[in-house]
Amino acid sequence: MNRESWIKDELAALQAQHLRRELSPLPAAGGRIEIAGRPWLNFASNDYLDLSQHPLVIEAARKALADYGAGATASRLVTGTLDLHEQLEQKLAEHKGYPAALVFGSGYLANAGIIASLACEGDLILSDKLAHASIIDAARLSGAKLVRFQHNDANHLQTLTKKSADFRRCIVVTESVFSMDGDLAPLAVISKIVREIGAIFIVDEAHATGVFGPHGSGRVRDLKIETAVNVSMFTLSKGLGGYGGGVACSQLLRDWFINKARSFIYTTALPPAVIAAAIAAVDLLGEHPEWGAELLRRADRFRAALKSRGLDTLNSASQIVPVLIGDNEKAMQVAKRLREKQIIVAAIRPPTVPAGTARLRLSLTLAHSDADIEHAAIAIAEAVR
């Protein structure tokens, strides 16, 4: 008996539902790329500020590679903490408006580490229903009771908090900018609810960092609710154009994560070139406070162009602009048609989004001009029709 035969059957079932995923290698990264000598528009990249291509970011990585070598070569608690790691964490803490920061290997590892170290059996985690998979996985890993409130529904959250008295601790988790819908969480309202019950509040700012708030510091700082949000999670791989994740928090929580977050303790530190690139990116945000606002202006223009052609962009209010399709197969077909026009878009299907809400997920970046946006809107409308 072939012990792997069941896998073939499961993959065939995914194929039949138009849910099978495959890798599609590209020769370059960024919002505008060249393939076989022809220019392509990439609306599936999270390189929102085009910083992965910025010469100062690249030069910083190149210098660190020459000075330190290719890798950190150990976990942070052994010999993997370099002076560059501490420099970056100090800059990120200041940038986010918190006393301290701690860098993890990725955004997924950051959520896994912080949530699983703060909650365990006997605790309650209240999470937005559309929160990222890393948040849901971390909650399950913790052993705590996970209850999901209706998306962006503060009233439903308020109702669920009545159960918190039955548990030892309560943790409330949400994203500030949702990665698939592009809409914004009512953070100010949620922060008041959290204060009332004395819960720990974690906000995932992966898609807000670099775009929202002063100098791209995120929505938490923009709303001046740092004291209400215990942990502001971020990534280095989207608005900052590199790789990695982390948290901004109190010094006490930083010490706790260093001692208890297994995804921090038991993994090799990020390479020096990656850290140096992030330092350069944070410095650039400080020098260019206008970047986030300009990106959001272009996103407004893109949404208007799509809506004027009868397309549904849901409640997007960020640089992430979905176009609702509904059917899985049709979403794949539309993405294929757009590739024939040298436009790359992501066709997002369940389980990443709820059943019946397959969509195109469009990411605006500063690499996309107003002319690119108009051209793409026309092509998308034609492809959907």
> Which of 176, 179, 232, 237 is the catalytic position?
179
pLDDT tens-digit readout, 73-85: 999 999 999 999 9
Question: Which of helix, strand or coil describes residue 348?
Answer: strand
pLDDT tens-digit readout, 3-55: 888 999 899 999 998 888 888 888 888 999 999 899 999 999 999 999 999 99
User: What is the DSSP code (8-state) at residue 208?
Assistant: T
Question: Which of helix, strand or coil describes residue 123?
Answer: coil
Q: What are phi and psi of 306, to 5 degrees?
A: -70, -45
> Which of 42, 45, 46, 263 is the catalytic position?
46
179 is catalytic: yes
Triad 203, 259, 176: Cα angle to 5°: 5
pLDDT of residue 26: 85
pLDDT of residue 1: 61
When pLDDT is cut at 50, 70 and 90, the band that residue 250 belongs to is very high
pLDDT tens-digit readout, 349-382: 999 999 999 999 999 999 999 999 999 999 999 9
151 is catalytic: no
Lowest mean pLDDT among 68-72, 161-165, 267-271: 161-165
175 is catalytic: yes
pTM, to two decimals? 0.94
Mean pLDDT of 57-69: 98
pLDDT of residue 19: 85
137 is catalytic: no
> Which of 123, 181, 183, 204 is the catalytic position?
204
When pLDDT is cut at 50, 70 and 90, the band that residue 2 belongs to is confident
Beta carbons of 287 and 269 less than 8 angstroms apart: no
Task: Indicate whether 347 pLDDT > 80.
Answer: yes
pLDDT of residue 23: 83
For the chain, which residues make up each domain, given as ranges? 25-53+290-384, 69-287
> Which of 85, 96, 207, 368 is the catalytic position?
207
238 is catalytic: yes
Triad 211, 216, 222: Cα angle to 5°: 100
176 is catalytic: no
Q: Which fold has domain 25-53+290-384?
A: Aspartate Aminotransferase, domain 1 (3.90.1150)
pLDDT tens-digit readout, 155-209: 999 999 998 989 999 999 999 999 999 999 999 999 999 999 999 999 999 999 9
pLDDT of residue 21: 87
> Which of 123, 175, 183, 372 is the catalytic position?
175
Domain 69-287 has CATH 3.40.640.10: yes
315 is catalytic: no
